[in-house]
Structure 1
């Protein structure tokens, strides 16, 4: 791993690394915050953060203010990019498909299938890299925003026992039923809607192998609330399946990082309790 950035932050270090991903077939950037407790040599719990459409690893580390809380609780933050990158990686017109829009799935359709395997990258390759190079324990949590909230929910639901906790800000809870998800799934996975279910949280809760509680934070003034996010679909699916869900609607808050920064401390505390 090649370190690109190294900045002192709340007694720890905010770093950014570049590494070769065999899964994605390209070089990837990933941000890692090491809290001051890392100096002790003890292995620390890890919170993986998955960002939303158009984002890189930079958005969360520069806008969310999460390092303060990670330092307080002794948690390593790992923030990957949102898609494969590079001249050989296919792209598309618009912000909601291609680079910056990996949707945390394994594409099966061309030209996407050879690079767009973000599910395998997040679940297997990246944690193996993190646990080999940093003082990281096997206590893991996962969270994210919007497209990344979708990724966090589906990855936790599909991997029972791998994560101690999961949360999401403004997640795309039912990508099979909203325009963002339908566009991406058609391109990456093809027309068979049955194949989409494995990447849709509202479908996955019915057969989840573990009743890991879901914490969802949603702004009441989110401009995408009724068209792309539709949290009531997850609420109804969880109620039908008996799956624990805490859905918190915050009046006045929108889809931006101002919303995330307002409540990220509560989420990190939630994950810290679960990983203690």
Structure 2
């Protein structure tokens, strides 16, 4: 049975609170942590933005480095940042490489906690951006909007995705397409909210791993609304994310308040 989350830390920020929780996940068979930023609210009810971090990250990276809390506080949006991977299972080979295993799980699904109600949106970075896009496209009834920073949009055709999908899903490439945003977008003709993507033009992973123009072409083919912003001089780091995160918070806040 899944245990009730236990609060393990709390820090005030912009009149709201960053709180970290720990709970046991029977699905994963280990304890997991996640962060929630609670904005100031007299009713203690607010819309939610899920954030999915990238390879090598934990639930702390976004909360500590992004600076998203300022805009989230102003807009009255809660931020939920789960960990990217189960830890402490000692699975054979889990630490053999930096881009697969502990701290580098490749998101295939996101299961909301039972009993959580209200409206939500989803966003993420790199591998987490891949997760945000694919989860959104498969659950248009559950999320109001989506955005991403430097997402892996066509993982079936890049080294990171091919490595993860081979290990998780086997060699049957048709199965991979169910977790590839560029393939998925062609199946959904009812995407109405604009998809926001920011991509740094000096990102060293741009041309071999991220492939944003393939997703752009797929969106155009089905008239899916996409705002792809190529940002000159920016790389793949949280310096890039923190520069444009306010735009993403406002993007989601507008959709969540509709």
Q: TM-score scaled to structure 2, two decimals?
A: 0.94
Deviations 1:182-231 (A, max 9, x none): 00100111000000011000000010263143111000111110010010
Higher helix proportion (structure 1 or 2): 1
Structure 1 residues 86-235: aligned runs within 5 Å:
86-89=88-91, 91-105=94-108, 119=109, 122-124=110-112, 126=113, 128=114, 131=116, 137-208=117-188, 210-211=190-191, 212-235=193-216
Q: How many pairs were matched up?
A: 251
Q: CA deviation at 1:245?
A: 0.8
Is the Cα contact below 8 Å between 2:189 and 2:224 reproduced in 1?
Answer: no
Q: In structure 1, what is the Cα distance between the partners aligned to 2:227 and 2:249? A: 15
Q: Where do 4+ consecutive residues of structure 1 move more than 6 Å?
A: none
* Other-structure match for 1:13: 17
Q: In structure 1, what is the Cα distance between the partners aligned to 2:95 and 2:134? A: 24
Is the Cα contact below 8 Å between 1:169 and 1:218 reproduced in 2?
Answer: yes
Q: CA deviation at 1:43?
A: 1.6
Structure 2 unaligned regions, length at least 5: none
- Correspondence 1:27 to 2:31: yes
Q: TM-score scaled to structure 1, two decimals?
A: 0.88
* Other-structure match for 2:233: 252
Is the Cα contact below 8 Å between 1:161 and 1:210 reproduced in 2?
Answer: no
Q: CA deviation at 1:240?
A: 1.2
Q: CA deviation at 1:89?
A: 4.5
* Other-structure match for 1:47: 49
Q: In structure 1, what is the Cα distance between the partners aligned to 2:211 and 2:178? A: 19
Is the Cα contact below 8 Å between 1:216 and 1:247 reproduced in 2?
Answer: yes
Q: CA deviation at 1:101?
A: 1.7
Q: CA deviation at 1:260?
A: 0.3
Q: In structure 1, what is the Cα distance between the partners aligned to 2:224 and 2:73? A: 32
Deviates more, 1:153-162 or 1:201-210: 201-210
